[in-house]
Every structure is written in structure tokens, then in C-alpha cells.
Amino acid sequence: MTKVYTGSVFGIRELTEAQRAKTRAELEWLEKDLVRQRKRLAYWTMRKSQAETMPDLDADLREKTLYFHLRAQELVNASERYRAYLVAELQDQPEHLPAYHHAH
């Protein structure tokens, strides 16, 4: 007999109820923070488009604007990846063990 693996591909561990509550609280905080980060990204996107269209803008200021836009984009991307992992971690929790563990 071979064991059939039915778990997540992310290597998600089984959580206790206290750990689930902590993960839910962290996810709630992260989603609020993502709103703030997306607003910051929208601001730097606007500033980037202004910097690209204004020909008389100082080159140093243009470089700084591009840097902060890139940094804001990286923060949003990292937070969204972490949020996706937390959601998967909460959704892939086994409520009970399956009746058949082995292939027949």
C-alpha cells in the first residue's frame, strides 16, 4: 500500500485553535496594512508619471521618485504574497482526518 498525500503543496503545518486565531489576527492586520501600502503605491505611481512627463525636472529628483515607486511596488508585492500564504494556511487546515489514508 502507498500513502496518498492530500495536503497542501506549500508545506503548511497543522495549527491549533490558538494558532489559527493568531494567524487570523495577523491576516486582518496585514489586510489593513495592504490598504495603506496600496495608497502609497498609487501616490508614487502618480509621482512617477509626473516625473516621466516633466522634461525640466531635476535628474536626481527623478531617480529618487523612481526608487520610491519601485520600493512601494516591492512592499505591496511582498505583502500580497504573504497574505496569499496566510489565506492558504488557514484554508488548508484539516477539520478531520480522511477515512482512507492509503490507495487501494
Select the highest-mean-pLDDT range: 5-19, 50-64, 86-100.
50-64
Identity of residue 82? Y
Whole-number pLDDT of residue 95: 60
Instruction: Summarize pLDDT for 20-41 with one digit per residue, the tens.
Output: 888 888 989 999 999 999 999 9
* pTM, rounded to two decimals: 0.71
- State the Cα–Cα distance between residues 16 and 4, nearest whole angstrom: 24
Q: What is the DSSP letter of 3?
A: B
Instruction: Summarize pLDDT for 45-88 with one digit per residue, the tens.
Output: 999 999 999 888 898 999 999 999 999 999 999 999 999 888 88
pLDDT confidence of 103, banded at 50, 70, 90?
A: very low
- State the Cα–Cα distance between residues 49 and 37, nearest whole angstrom: 18
Whole-number pLDDT of residue 9: 55
